[in-house]
Structure 1
């Protein structure tokens, strides 16, 4: 019936002229208000993309119904993907997320794909656009193949020129481009999805820092290279256990709220041979692998494109890390993650990083499950198994990336009954209560691990930290209870990247010496970013450091926090990190070292990033 009805030529042309603009408006409205967030020059710059997209499809197909139907369908799909990405991890879609499709699919069935009422209306409007567009009858009069080919090539050329222009600083200045990547949602909302996404493609390749050279790297590290550094044979090498706990955080940093029970009593009560503090990370709601990367390498995401994932984009071969460094010191090295090995390309990356053995989901087939994930306690039992089966006196390094607390928190489960209640929330904090109940389970499991090793004969040091906070929609009740409506302000943005860390040992450690490195006059608590954490761990364990770690130990007092979003100086002042901004000289040097460590493999001296071998 519909095939028999075709919209006449002139109305078809008119529909073609308005549909790209309507699709732009609909896509943006899925996530924000165009009228409130975008200025006219940026609206117009985004509209050019949509007209070029529909124009390219028209040039290829020569038919308006293909152009309008397929074009609107593509825009709707892209808009929905961006909508769900924001819902699940609180940041928008980036070009390099294409590389994360396998990881995203591996956990996709654990999320709820419901739409709010406004989103349902927008999808309905898209469907209407697709249906109406498919009824148009306008055809391009291009019967000559040469003219047809010329029209396609012209459309491709215009697309290329547009992509180039969107990345030019002159164009940015002309349209009032919002440059600050550290607030990604604001970046996309103010610049528009198309312009933001295309602008970010320039960061798929990372340029050398200014003044980069191998000679400069040697100059920076020269004061920290000690010839023939030796340690006494048989010197203490404690077992080292590092737990990067999935979504482990204390939401109390976001605002005051009360619960019926303490959700973190064991960690709060730890004091003897313990160092605790505030840890700043580069991600929230997802991209766990970036916290992992910063800890294991000592590099910072500050010098990489916002939203990028080094595990998938940049690591292509062996690289000196904490694992290879400890291996060099005589440790057996183990990595474990009780989920799929292809997530974030971990299986390959762990080999490149120097882990002797890696355990993934197939190694936990009979392990206890909470909700849909292997429990923290099950991974701790695996750690105990490694300890009891190893040769006595042989030091071990275990890096455990847990999965128990992974989102989503929207489903109900027979095997999980939340027992933490948020008082005064009027019943609107179900997701937060489920999340806090999981944190309570993690705290209890950590208590059991510490309890076991408190009785162990071999000296053992344990570090646990969170990889990121949960997504915005989990913690939003805290903001509502504290009367906070805008979470894009500097203070809220900063607090959303804070997680706890705790270092505990079953023997006497010099806690004061460790705290001196990470305490500051402006804060009553220890504070640092995750890139420094392995250096602090080596300090606590009394292990020899690499020249790179000694360099970081020297700058941590001046710049204790350096993440993808901000850096903090020794006066307690926060500054946003911008890819084009001028950094302090010390951080410029750090950027040079990071580039050499990650990218300049040909000219990298691995001895700069690892400790000397034990005699």
Structure 2
């Protein structure tokens, strides 16, 4: 059922095409944001130095697939019914994504996740998104575990192994697993991050386990960057956390939140504190992109293509116009380019015209007759046709 990779035009060299690796890091967050505790040494020195901005996650403590949906498609959960899980409910046919874009440019587009392929319906979804291969727990070499989950280091080694075997330019989308909760006290043989502060012992142990995972995720990113620095071809690496971790009473014990789950309605500062995860956009040729600010996952595709030197009618064109006005498009809040928020925007009598068009375009491509294909996704159309034949 694999869809053939579109060949490069005659005379086109691979040399000018950047390889792209996107890492969605499970529950990756900056634990030094917790008040009334001190972590030493810093568990994420590489990411702190290289950080481009933050992702404003539409979720908290789980529902990874909804963040992944936005990151890969450039569409928004804000335009779907409350409680939606697109991967399980709506993705039934081919749909434009970063995978189809890169496939159309002659890339190998591969999804990598060291867990079972049925989870979140990923086998079917990745096929609909146009990935030519999904490397999952079932078809990858056994990986070292940290606790019960595949380690970030082992996944990084596998990404490097697969990348080194490539002749064609490639787009890899990898989802890590090590950072998944619960954060049991004895997951690691030794926790190397010291936790200082007045915490119940159970919460201290949970935070120590979580912080150790953050350190190892940071170490793994450094390893991937060190490998990329030795490559001749430009290599773009993007890392972001999908949501804050389910630390439960650690949040209340430290005074970070009043409850163990985030509020979905509140001030901009509250929402950013409870939904921001670190974002790194980096190239082995130009280093980190800085001052991205806080953005919705739906704008990641815009950042990725811009960093990789591409323009596209939807991902940099239309999404770029939305990004010029809004940095966050969330179900409950908009955050404008100037930092001002608009709460409960979707309940207002008149939705801004640009967001209305954004919603219409998304619904057309997901649920309608795809009238937008010729204007916004023409280069994807042949991949849609090929994929439809295999569905």
For 1:85-124, list aligned pairs within 5 A. Answer: none
Deviations 1:485-536 (A, max 9, x none): 3664434343211101101111137947xx5xx4xxxxxxx22111001111
Report how far residue 267 of structure 1 moved: 1.6
Are 1:409 and 2:183 an aligned pair?
Answer: yes
Decide whether the 8 Å contact of 2:43 with 2:214 is kept in 1.
yes
Query: What is the match of residue 396 of structure 1?
Result: 170
Are 1:375 and 2:151 an aligned pair?
Answer: yes
Report how far residue 347 of structure 1 moved: 0.5
- Shift of the 303–324 alpha-carbon distance from structure 1 to 2, 3 Å rule, reads same
Deviations 1:89-119 (A, max 9, x none): xxxxxxxxxxxxxxxxxxxxxxxxxxxxxxx
- Shift of the 596–612 alpha-carbon distance from structure 1 to 2, 3 Å rule, reads closer
3-state SS, counterpart of residue 325 of structure 2: coil
Unaligned 5+ segments in structure 1 are 1-229, 519-525
3-state SS, counterpart of residue 575 of structure 1: strand
Query: What is the match of residue 458 of structure 1?
Result: 233
Task: Quote the Cα distance in structure 1 between the aligned partners of 2:304 and 2:241.
Answer: 15
Structure number with greater CO (CA < 8 Å, separation at least 6) is 2
Task: Quote the Cα distance in structure 1 between the aligned partners of 2:341 and 2:286.
Answer: 35
Query: What is the match of residue 360 of structure 1?
Result: 136
Are 1:329 and 2:105 an aligned pair?
Answer: yes
Per mean C-alpha deviation after superposition, the further-off stretch among 538-547 and 398-407 is 538-547
Report how far residue 551 of structure 1 moved: 1.2
Decide whether the 8 Å contact of 1:371 with 1:416 is kept in 2.
no
The correspondence for 1:527, drawn from 288, 294, 297, is: 294
Task: Quote the Cα distance in structure 1 between the aligned partners of 2:318 and 2:136.
Answer: 34
The correspondence for 1:585, drawn from 353, 372, 375, is: 353
- Shift of the 359–410 alpha-carbon distance from structure 1 to 2, 3 Å rule, reads same
- Shift of the 369–255 alpha-carbon distance from structure 1 to 2, 3 Å rule, reads same
- Shift of the 611–545 alpha-carbon distance from structure 1 to 2, 3 Å rule, reads farther
Query: How many residues are matched?
Result: 364
3-state SS, counterpart of residue 355 of structure 2: helix
Are 1:340 and 2:107 an aligned pair?
Answer: no
Decide whether the 8 Å contact of 1:375 with 1:403 is kept in 2.
yes
Task: Quote the Cα distance in structure 2 between the aligned partners of 1:248 and 1:580.
Answer: 32
The correspondence for 1:567, drawn from 334, 337, 351, is: 334
Task: Quote the Cα distance in structure 1 between the aligned partners of 2:244 and 2:47.
Answer: 17
The correspondence for 1:288, drawn from 39, 64, 73, is: 64
Deviations 1:384-405 (A, max 9, x none): 12222122xx200100011111
3-state SS, counterpart of residue 560 of structure 1: strand
- Shift of the 262–295 alpha-carbon distance from structure 1 to 2, 3 Å rule, reads same
Task: Quote the Cα distance in structure 2 between the aligned partners of 1:283 and 1:457.
Answer: 38
The correspondence for 2:282, drawn from 483, 501, 504, is: 504
Report how far residue 422 of structure 1 moved: 2.1
Per mean C-alpha deviation after superposition, the further-off stretch among 251-260 and 328-337 is 251-260
Report how far residue 357 of structure 1 moved: 1.0
Task: Quote the Cα distance in structure 2 between the aligned partners of 1:245 and 1:510.
Answer: 18
3-state SS, counterpart of residue 245 of structure 2: coil
The correspondence for 1:609, drawn from 358, 377, 381, is: 377
Decide whether the 8 Å contact of 1:546 with 1:611 is kept in 2.
no
Query: What is the match of residue 485 of structure 1?
Result: 258
Q: TM-score, normalised by structure 1?
A: 0.55
Are 1:553 and 2:320 an aligned pair?
Answer: yes
Task: Quote the Cα distance in structure 1 between the aligned partners of 2:114 and 2:249.
Answer: 24
Task: Quote the Cα distance in structure 1 between the aligned partners of 2:301 and 2:212.
Answer: 29
Are 1:241 and 2:33 an aligned pair?
Answer: no
Root-mean-square deviation (CA, aligned residues, Å) is 2.6
- Shift of the 611–602 alpha-carbon distance from structure 1 to 2, 3 Å rule, reads closer
3-state SS, counterpart of residue 320 of structure 1: coil
- Shift of the 510–406 alpha-carbon distance from structure 1 to 2, 3 Å rule, reads closer
3-state SS, counterpart of residue 248 of structure 2: helix
- Shift of the 511–243 alpha-carbon distance from structure 1 to 2, 3 Å rule, reads closer
Decide whether the 8 Å contact of 2:206 with 2:247 is kept in 1.
no
Task: Quote the Cα distance in structure 2 between the aligned partners of 1:576 and 1:598.
Answer: 26
Task: Quote the Cα distance in structure 2 between the aligned partners of 1:571 and 1:507.
Answer: 30
Q: TM-score, normalised by structure 2?
A: 0.85
- Shift of the 509–260 alpha-carbon distance from structure 1 to 2, 3 Å rule, reads closer
Decide whether the 8 Å contact of 2:71 with 2:300 is kept in 1.
yes
Query: What is the match of residue 251 of structure 1?
Result: 31
- Shift of the 365–386 alpha-carbon distance from structure 1 to 2, 3 Å rule, reads closer
Query: What is the match of residue 45 of structure 2?
Result: 265
Structure of greater Rg: 1
Unaligned 5+ segments in structure 2 are 1-8, 382-391
